[in-house]
Chain A
Amino acid sequence: AQTVTQSQPEMSVQEAETVTLSCTYDTSESDYYLFWYKQPPSRQMILVIRQEAYKQQNATENRFSVNFQKAAKSFSLKISDSQLGDAAMYFCAYPGNTGKLIFGQGTTLQVKP
């Protein structure tokens, strides 16, 4: 079965510091996309960043970047210069071979002032 695993239920970071959230997935596909979603206390999930597996270059969106290791099936999210507004639950997601998004268990990020 295709799975997505986030092994860190909770993380904390000091404001302005950098934090990395881990995600691993299982697939036999060679071409696919990977996503990180953020769910703030308001509950609305929003897309943070996405990575195309056939691209060597890691995706970057402002303070958010990924470390994509295709061979290791690892897709971690790095948040630089953390801000209080980054506090949320973060979900890694992979569209399985049927195209339906499979989500990880989520990581709750706390940002300390």
Chain B
Amino acid sequence: DVKVTQSSRYLVKRTGEKVFLECVQDMDHENMFWYRQDPGLGLRLIYFSYDVKMKEKGDIPEGYSVSREKKERFSLILESASTNQTSMYLCASSLLGPGPGNSPLHFGNGTRLTVT
């Protein structure tokens, strides 16, 4: 069965800290995505990657960066965490690329990040 694993379910960090959110998929998918979920705003795309070492900005990339050194792993990095980055972060992967037009996304369980 398809599996996308996010390393932390809950995370509490202080303002200014560098934060790493890790995501691993075991389906040999080409595409991986990081979304942010906030009440009333749905899911917004931060970054995505359609190949190893490739990355593209989504709709809200400011304050974030990503790393994809291996096909199965896609990391989201908050260079200097701020309180407005308190949110739920969802990682997803899909088979076909570059977009998920007819290939559904498979999601992880999410990481709820609180920045104090």
User: Which residues of A pack against B, CB within 8 Å?
Assistant: 4, 6, 9, 32-33, 35, 37, 42-47, 50, 52, 91, 95, 98-101, 103-106
Contacts and interface: CB of A to CB of B under 8 A. Distances in A.
A9 to B, nearest CB: 7
- The number of chain B residues touching the other chain, given as a range, is 20 to 34
B107 A100 contact: no
Consensus secondary structure, chain B interface: loop
A100 B42 contact: no
Interface of B: 33, 35, 40-45, 48, 58, 88, 90, 92, 97-102, 104-105, 107-110
B109 A91 contact: no
Contacts of A6: 42
Contact of B99 (A37, A95, A103): A95
